Amino acid sequence: MDSTTRTTPAVSVYAGTVRSDRAACFTLQNDLQVVVIQDHRTPVVTQMIWYKVGSADEPPGKSGLAHFLEHLMFKGTSKHPADEFSKAVLRASGYQNAFTGFDFTSYFHHVPREHLGKMMEFEADRMTGLVLKDENVLSERDVVLEEFNMRVANHPGNRLAEQMMAALYLNHPYGHPIIAWRQEIEKLTREDALAFYRRFYAPNNAILIVAGDVATKEMRSMVKETFGGIPAQPSIPKERLRPQEPPPAAQRRVTLADARVEQPALRRYYLVPSTRSAAAGEGPALEVLEQLMGGGINSYLYLSLVVEKQLAVTARASYHSAALDPSLFEISVIPKPGANLSLIERCIDEVIAGIARNPASAEDLQRAKTRLTAQVAYAQDSQELLAHWYGRALTTGLCIEDVQRWPDDIRAVGAPQVHEAARIWLDKKRAVTGYLVKESTPQHWETL
């Protein structure tokens, strides 16, 4: 199963917006929220269930628990033993996967339409019927440890991202890696997993999204029959409250040197509002700023670093808009061989200072907004993508109307708003700058 990480290139949580006549929402009496996205072009469906719990909701000292439980959810129930669910998906010529983020855990299946009812029964059963045995838990913990080795320990770029997130978030649990700190993975137990499961896996903490060749009326009946009898978990609070960040007071730096680095890199993370935590208009302004700065070959960073100064192979910016709490704006540059990272950093600062001093031209602004809103049309061809974006939005505190209004919000952004977003949020006191460099000095273990 895949875990979601902040190093993945960001795409707007709203980019999958669909016409309002294709998305409907209803809620069962047990507070399970259901979204139906109709797409009758092919007789297939995507079912996704999103739980409003992620790594940022883990108890202190138990990092990685949400992701660990994601793996264990495939171990079977008393009604359906291990592998029965997975084998049923394969027999239906479908596929499945799952992923964990800071704010959510999601499980999805893509199958021919006639198999949807069975998939829904399986999913409802494991919402409350998970059975875990010590031997299964311990072996799966070893799988997670191996995933940690592959994704983090043996991947210098991801290790840099891990260290930068820990430096950016001084108090908020977003500073803890989704996959965990290794020493805490090693101590996770069956009891930890079951306690987390019983606390958070319930209909009133879940969103079921069905996209594809279905009708809303039919789904109301099917979902009610399948999930309606599962009781809500009354201890789940209506609002998730986490420790928040203090006002940033100083810029921070992280340098990771590793002998395995073949390609140096420079990154910068700014602490900025997410769409959910931003004031009115700030989220769309940051989205447009992302496009202006690093959204392609016409972006300011690319023109400066790649085309004009020829210091870099690529340069991009990413605004991670989908988060329950304040998120990050990322700048990433891959230098040309031999290029000086300090010089590249100064060039980045010059580009940001230019945006903060001079509002973007009408032509540049329109190009950025067109690139963003064009994603709406492209997303129509992927029911999985549509379900994914609705799930990310709804699990991070937004609503259907926010998703559907997104193109209009982007079109309404003016140059002064982008100028103000750069001036306020791209302040180096709010940032961590990271250098990834090749270690030239032998490590102590290499000399033994």
CA–chain centroid gap for 198, Å, is 24
Beta bridge partners of 51: 105, 206
Output the six-digit token pair for 168: 């950016």
Name the amino acid, one letter, at 252.
R
Give CA–CA dist 210/35, Å, rounded. 6
Give the CA count within 13 Å in the CB-facing half-sphere of 338.
Answer: 1
Give CA–CA dist 413/159, Å, rounded. 36
DSSP tag of 112: E
Catalytic residue numbers? 70
Give CA–CA dist 366/364, Å, rounded. 5
Give CA–CA dist 375/388, Å, rounded. 14
DSSP tag of 216: H
Concatenating the DSSP letter of every residue in 250-269 gives: S-EEEEEEETT-SS-EEEEE
User: Helices marked H in 73-181 — which ranges?
Assistant: 84-91, 116-128, 134-148, 156-168
Give CA–CA dist 181/72, Å, rounded. 19
Report yes or no: 53 and 195 within 8 Å, Cβ to Cβ. no
Output the six-digit token pair for 363: 């032509």
Report yes or no: 176 and 20 within 8 Å, Cβ to Cβ. no
CA distances from 14 to 103, 287, 320, 383, 399 (A): 17, 10, 12, 14, 11
